[in-house]
Amino acid sequence: MTPLNNKRILLGVTGSIACYKAADLASKLRQAGAEVDVILTSAATQFITPLTFQSVTGRRAYVDADLWGSEGHVLHISLAKEADLLVVAPATANTLAKLAHGIADNLLALAAVACESPLLIAPAMDGGMYHHAATQANIETLKKRGAVIVGPEEGHLASGLRMVGRMTEPAELLGHIRQTLARGGPLAGKHVVVSAGGTQEPIDPVRFIANRSSGKQGYALAQAALDLGATVTLVSGPTALAAPVGATRVDVRTAGEMLTAVLEYSRGADALVMAAAVADFRPEQIAEHKIKKGGDAPVIKLAHTADVLKEVAAQKNGRPKVMVGFAAESRDLVENAEKKLTSKGLDLIVANDVSAADAGFEVDTNRVTLLFADGSKEDLPLMGKDEMAAVILQRVAGLLK
Ligand code: CTP
């Protein structure tokens, strides 16, 4: 379940070459579980047809002619009232002006005036038009009224120039839409810090000790916290994953850097969810130059790293209200996890059998037991890491109540 599930999105499409991206956005919204009604302005129909949108949304797409059709006098009202969110993407300078001033001379502009739901706008136009004082003033007016303006981005424009004016990519828009719909969720106004991925402990300038953590579960937890309306800081070890839209990402490499960042960002936070696989040992000495293979094989002496959770729990001031840890175990799952729950001063520990092929490192699924500080337990069956993250964050929201 994402904030998009079963939500009605009214998508207004206006006359820009970025209309082709709007079709992709409509498709992504539907795949994420939303019901998408599309209104095209007459200029948009010069670039793309209603049929394109009907094909990806499975629903009728509307044009100005429908305003005067059989449903005429109520169509803009019903579309507006049923919408959980109005998205205008791409939004031209002309439509921005209409939205800012309440001009209602086409079906989309009429629906916008009738709509009381949040408004998200993705402008797309030539750079000069975007920087025009009138456009900038209209954007300011809309922002002051609470509209979410996403983009435009810098890049190649239809004029052939590289300037600010490109519509934000659909995948990123989807993240902003998700975040806008999550407003007012159970974690609204709460700051959640999530750590994710593994750390790397350098041996010399080219080698390091790492672990198998992919960061998938941690990134899913960050998205799940955003989906419940939280403000999220994601402290991440090296990974190729893209941070969820709306999360503030802090990149770290070593266990030492993870400790510094988590201590700093979790001070006074509502919750810390420590999903990172932090190295327990690091080479005591880091060789200044690459260790050559000639001669005897080197013996690398290891030293302990700090335990991040213990250090956070030991703070006199600013300990997060709820602390969640993960226990990666290959045997005696519950017994070992219980010990960590107590020794690390946690409110909840997620016990994870990493020896199973379908759970733990690298795979997309997980199977865990939740152990709470009050002694209660909850077994979660095999499920996707996204789904599991949603359940864990619901429990965090429950503990924060
Ligand atoms: N953790 C931490 N700092 C470390 C190591 C682990 O804060 N230096 C956190 C992890 O992020 C996780 C929890 O502690 O939330 C348990 O991690 P795990 O690797 O299962 O246990 P360890 O404490 O490292 O103990 P062991 O390796 O002996 O099982």
Ligand 1 pocket: which residues have CB below 6 Å? Answer: 255, 274, 276, 278, 280, 305, 307-309, 325-328, 340
Mutational pocket test of ligand 1: of 217, 263, 274, 302, the residue with most ligand atoms within 8 Å of the beta carbon: 274
Question: Boundaries of CATH 3.40.50.10300 in the chain?
Answer: 191-400
Query: Rounded CA gap, 281 and 389, in Å?
Result: 28
What CATH number does domain 191-400 carry, 3.40.1010.10, 3.40.50.10300, 2.130.10.10, 3.30.565.10? 3.40.50.10300
Task: Read off the DSSP letter of residue 186.
Answer: T
Gap from CA of 13 to ligand 1 centroid (Å): 49
Answer whether 10's CB lies under 8 Å from 119's CB. Answer: no
* Residue type (1 letter), 68: W
Gap from CA of 319 to ligand 1 centroid (Å): 18
Query: Rounded CA gap, 13 and 89, in Å?
Result: 5
How far, in whole angstroms, is CA 26 from its chain's centroid? 18
- pLDDT for the residue numbered 159: 79
Between the two ends of the chain, the Cα-to-Cα distance in Å is: 22
Answer whether 349's CB lies under 8 Å from 341's CB. Answer: yes
Structure-block tokens of residue 398: 């429950």
What CATH number does domain 8-181 carry, 3.20.20.140, 3.40.50.1950, 1.10.10.10, 3.40.50.2000? 3.40.50.1950
Answer whether 124's CB lies under 8 Å from 56's CB. Answer: no
Gap from CA of 178 to ligand 1 centroid (Å): 32
Answer whether 174's CB lies under 8 Å from 246's CB. Answer: no
What DSSP line would sit under 104-151, residue for residue? Answer: --SHHHHHHHH--S-EEEEE---HHHHHSHHHHHHHHHHHHTT-EE--
Query: Rounded CA gap, 81 and 43, in Å?
Result: 25
Answer whether 31's CB lies under 8 Å from 107's CB. Answer: no
The residue with tokens 């095209």 is 40
- Residue 34's nearest CA partner among 2, 79, 12, 77 is 2
Helix H or strand E encompassing 273: strand 271-274
Query: Rounded CA gap, 237 and 254, in Å?
Result: 8
Active site residues: 211
Question: Boundaries of CATH 3.40.50.1950 in the chain?
Answer: 8-181
Structure-block tokens of residue 328: 């990666």
What DSSP line would sit under 63-81, residue for residue? Answer: -GGGGGSTTHHHHHHHHHH
- How confident is the prediction along the chain (401 residues), in pLDDT tens digits per residue? 788 999 999 999 999 999 999 999 999 999 999 999 999 999 999 999 999 999 999 999 999 988 877 665 688 888 889 999 999 999 999 999 999 999 999 999 999 999 999 999 999 999 899 999 999 999 999 999 999 999 999 988 887 888 889 999 999 999 999 999 999 899 999 999 999 999 999 999 999 999 988 999 999 999 999 999 999 999 999 999 999 999 999 999 999 999 999 999 999 999 999 999 999 999 999 999 999 988 888 999 999 999 999 999 998 888 999 999 999 888 898 999 999 999 999 999 999 887 777 766 667 778 899 999 999 999 999 898 899 999 999 999 999 99
**Longest distance between any two alpha carbons in the chain, whole Å:** 88
Mutational pocket test of ligand 1: of 217, 278, 281, the residue with most ligand atoms within 8 Å of the beta carbon: 278
